[in-house]
Structures are given as structure tokens and as C-alpha cells.
């Protein structure tokens, strides 16, 4: 089962589900334009989340939304 493609814009991110929930990754990503990519190790992202409540809140909101989308297509 594959989810419909999602187009990301400047400042958007992917890969948080696998990192924050210690799960297998759920996305395959292909850049169609020149892209600048930033990689965070799981420990670094988790440390940032612990230090910044706003970041934790925002990531939790995105996580809930994306998990809901995955549930709707039967991938969770």
C-alpha cells in the first residue's frame, strides 16, 4: 500500500515518524527541484525537542496529523 505523493515546500520536513517513534521509515522521498537537505541524528532531534517546548508541540501536531493520514490508508 502506498500513500499518495505529497509535495513539500520550503521549510517542511519528513522522517520524523521513524525518528520520534523508533519505527521503520514510512516515506520515500524524491527531489524534483534543487534541494538543500539537513540531516539530524535521532539523538540530536530528541534533545532539541526536550529543550524547546514549542518545537515539541509543533512536532506532536504534525505527528498526529501524519499518523492519522497513515491510519486512513491502512499503513498503521
Residues 45-73 have pLDDT tens digits of 989 999 999 999 999 998 888 888 878 87
- Find the largest Cα–Cα distance for the chain: 36
Please tell me the predicted confidence (pLDDT) of residue 43. Answer: 92
pLDDT tens for 14-48 read: 888 888 888 887 678 889 989 998 888 889 998 99
Give the integer Cα–Cα distance in Å for 23 and 11. Answer: 23
Residue 74 in contact with residue 1, Cβ under 8 Å? yes
Please give the model's pTM, rounded to 2 decimal places.
0.64
Please tell me the predicted confidence (pLDDT) of residue 3. Answer: 67
Residue 14 in contact with residue 57, Cβ under 8 Å? no
Residue 18 in contact with residue 25, Cβ under 8 Å? yes
Amino acid at each position: 500500500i502506498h500513500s499518495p505523493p505529497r509535495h513539500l515546500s520550503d521549510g517542511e520536513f519528513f522522517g520524523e515518524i521513524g525518528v520520534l517513534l523508533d519505527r521503520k521509515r514510512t516515506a520515500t522521498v524524491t527531489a524534483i527541484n534543487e534541494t538543500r537537505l539537513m540531516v539530524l541524528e535521532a539523538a540530536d532531534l530528541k534533545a532539541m525537542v526536550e529543550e524547546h517546548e514549542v518545537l515539541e508541540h509543533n512536532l506532536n501536531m504534525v505527528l498526529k496529523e501524519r499518523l492519522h493520514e497513515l491510519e486512513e490508508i491502512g499503513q498503521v
